[in-house]
């Protein structure tokens, strides 16, 4: 039985971190809210699950994954579950918790990316908080990007098995998530990130290696990979980018 992935249609968003793991592993899954399979019924079905009052497993928000009767919410939680099954995480429990910690740090980073264009409230349009977004983005570019990417660069460099992967000697779901972060930041802030490869060479090498993986390369070329757009988390508003490279 294929996995069922529930996430908003039309954007990569947080659901993309799960998609990348499923695509890399060649796992069967249905993107419930997208494509002909949904027949326009996917989003109402997702909302019905979130509106259910049956038990404590009901998710607050997408993405969430269904595996049979099991429902798992939150990106890091989903990936911690899928990782050993898909061969993208170690079997050792202690090592899985270390990997989950890295993914949760990515979760924090993604939340800060979102707040660059919605610093006041998600209920308000970007246009209603543009001046605040400019200030938040400047802080993010100057201080938070170096803080986060510097950390991941250091973890890669200090990996006892070598800097090709963030943890251990093989590909993990965190490597795939770092690829997505790298892609997203370059889309959202192209001028501010023009020198990323110079500042974070191990991250740049990881990004390039993931892009060349056969399953990922096929996915990126397919219509299953939604383009970045201004409805998702990584948004490109020129006025929020650095004025000069």
pLDDT at 179: 98
- CA distances in angstroms from 118 to 99, 131, 214, 233, listed in the order given: 29, 11, 36, 10
Residue-wise pLDDT tens digits, 115-135 = 999 999 999 999 999 999 999
List % helix, strand, coil for the chain (3-state, nearest 5). Answer: 55, 5, 40
pLDDT at 39: 60
DSSP 125: -
Q: Specify the number of domains making up the chain.
A: 1
- CATH number where 54 lies: 1.20.1050.130
Residue-wise pLDDT tens digits, 82-128 = 999 999 999 999 999 999 999 999 999 999 999 999 999 999 999 99
Domain interval for residue 160: 1-245
Residue-wise pLDDT tens digits, 209-242 = 999 999 999 999 999 999 999 999 999 999 999 8
pLDDT at 56: 74
């Amino acid at each position: 039985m294929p996995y069922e992935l529930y996430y908003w249609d039309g954007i990569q968003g947080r659901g993309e971190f799960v998609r990348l793991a499923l695509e890399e592993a060649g796992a069967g899954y249905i993107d419930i809210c997208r494509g002909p399979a949904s027949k326009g019924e996917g989003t109402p079905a997702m909302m019905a699950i979130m509106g259910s009052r049956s038990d404590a497993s009901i998710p607050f928000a997408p993405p969430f994954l269904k595996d049979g009767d099991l429902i798992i919410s939150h990106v890091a939680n989903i990936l911690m579950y899928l990782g050993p099954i898909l061969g993208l995480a170690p079997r050792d429990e202690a090592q899985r918790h270390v990997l989950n910690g890295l993914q949760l740090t990515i979760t924090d980073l993604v939340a800060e990316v979102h707040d660059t264009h919605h610093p006041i409230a998600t209920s308000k349009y970007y246009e209603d908080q543009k001046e605040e977004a400019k200030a938040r983005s400047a802080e993010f570019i100057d201080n938070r990007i170096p803080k986060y990417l510097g950390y991941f660069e250091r973890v890669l460099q200090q990996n006892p098995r070598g800097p090709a992967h963030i943890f251990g000697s093989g590909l993990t779901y965190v490597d795939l998530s770092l690829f997505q972060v790298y892609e997203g930041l370059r889309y959202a802030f192209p001028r501010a990130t023009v020198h990323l490869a110079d500042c974070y060479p191990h991250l740049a090498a990881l990004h390039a290696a993931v892009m060349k993986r056969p399953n990922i390369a096929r996915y990126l070329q397919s219509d299953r990979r939604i383009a970045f757009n201004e409805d998702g988390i990584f948004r490109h508003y020129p006025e929020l980018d650095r004025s000069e490279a």
